[in-house]
Amino acid sequence: MNILNNLKLLTYALLIMGCVSVKAHNANDNRKDFLTIDIPRTLAGMEMVLQIEKTATNFLSGYPYKGAVVKHYNKDGKFTAQGTATMQGAVPDNQQAYFGTYKYQRTGTNTAVEKSINTSINNTPFVVKYTFETDSSGKWEEDFGGGELKMSGSFTIVPSNLPPGQHLAPETKADVSVALIIKSTKSDLPADVYPTAGLVLQTYSQDGTLVLKGFGPSSVNSTGTYKYTKISANTAVEEVTQVSDYFTFPYTMVYTFETPTSGKWFQNFGDNLIKFSGAFDIFPCK
């Protein structure tokens, strides 16, 4: 009996050690993921694209809530920024541009903080927190003016003045088709009145028009007009007026190219009515 009891105790001990080993192994794997990320020590000489996905403010108008901002960081501690399709309506580029000074510091294995002053708007301070998911991309959160405006979204970083031969985003989308796979949606609308999954095939013409064909529940076929703007080496913004038998709405799309013909997309439809995101592939339509 003593031998059997000892064997049972040994078995339990081995099981406990095995569980601890598995948990430690998983924890080490997660730690290794962060340790393999080599986040920038400085932003000098870099170009950052801030994709705007969410905003919170008491401002009634005149603040950025969609599209993207491209920031260029100089070695002298100054930055310049240009927004594209960040506000409602046709807003001139110069009203979406700003500049200032910055200080950047790494705060962890995959986190960093930027403390800046917008010298073009009343020397307003703002803080941006970065959480890196790769060496050059991740999530960002900005507090502008001590809580006056809070924004968040995704970001990517590339060296400034990257040679054109290393760019992934095309200069135009004329005569191509884009297959958009819907992977995520957010809206206060009932889920059965808009597509929460599926595929949209968008075909672009040189005259600034496009045709959209939807596949999946609640998808619709439609047409529209578009304005495509390449804003960075691997990023483009598209402004569309979409017309169907049921609605006419604008939407703003941000494309992040991971290859010359594929990547991720984020869409603000109807000025915050619905937010879509997913993956895309581009191919010639002629």
0.85 cut: is pTM over it? yes
Predicted confidence (pLDDT) per residue in 168-196, tens digit:
999 999 999 999 999 999 999 998 999 99
The pLDDT value recorded for residue 115 is: 98
- Residue 41 vs residue 20, higher pLDDT: 41
Q: What is the mean pLDDT of residues 125-139?
A: 98
Q: What is the mean pLDDT of residues 130-151?
A: 97
The pLDDT value recorded for residue 91 is: 87
From the list 168, 197, 185, 198, the residue with the least C-alpha distance to 262 is 168
pLDDT band at 90 (very low <50, low <70, confident <90, very high): confident
Beta strands (DSSP E) in 87-208 are: 97-106, 111-118, 124-134, 137-144, 149-159, 176-187, 198-204
Cα dihedral: 264, 270, 275, 280 (round 10): -20
Q: Looking at the predicted structure, is the pLDDT value of residue 20 above 60?
A: no
Separation of alpha carbons 106 and 112, rounded Å: 4
